[in-house]
Amino acid sequence: IGLPTNSAQECQNLEVERQRRLERIKQKQSQLQELILQQIAFKNLVQRNRQTEQQANRPPPPNSIIHLPFIIVNTSKKTVIDCSISNDKFEYLFNFDSMFEIHDDIEVLKRMGMACGLEVGKCSPEDLKVARSLVPKALEPYVIEMAKGPISNVYISGGSSAN
């Protein structure tokens, strides 16, 4: 009686399944974290701009601002850039003679401190308070966890944890 003969095999299968799920959860967690960061950064930005406009009593001149979404390409000033553009401006081709970097607008917002330092897990109590106020209740546990530092282990909200 008792175990089927393939029980050891089944254990192994379960082990593989468990590992696979853990990997997937990890991936989805970083996806969720990024979405939370974006939400916080965007809300912060909008708040800041609203305040500035109210203080100045007028919107900033249109040629001094860049609306989201955008992408940044930066390179050394010494880099020679060769650029071809189609007549309708639908197509561009850039050739750089040296290295360049590409950043999205969220990266810029992070550098501006709009993500409250959560992106690197460096968050003052003040920052954390602001960050928490900018997300729905269900996401607060994640924000608190992110404030503690980069999450390396799988973190499951609601108490049960798996490693």
Site for other proteins in 76-105 (CB under 8 A): 76-79, 81, 83, 88-100, 102, 105
Residue 75 burial by Cβ neighbours in a 10 Å radius (0-12, 13-18, 19+): middle
Q: Which residue's CB is nearer to other proteins, number 94 or number 150?
A: 94
153 near other proteins (CB under 8 A) = no
159 near other proteins (CB under 8 A) = no
> Which residue type sits at 87?
N
66 near other proteins (CB under 8 A) = yes
Decide if 110 contacts 94 (C-beta within 8 A): no
Please tell me the distance from the alpha carbon of residue 144 to that of residue 74, in angstroms, as a whole number.
Answer: 33
75 near other proteins (CB under 8 A) = yes
Residues 118 to 137 in contact with other proteins, rule: CB under 8 A: 136
CA angle 25-30-36, nearest 5°?
125
State the number of binding residues for other proteins (CB under 8 A): 78
The two three-digit tokens of residue 42, written as one number = 């965007």
Output the smallest distance, CB 72 to other proteins, in A: 6
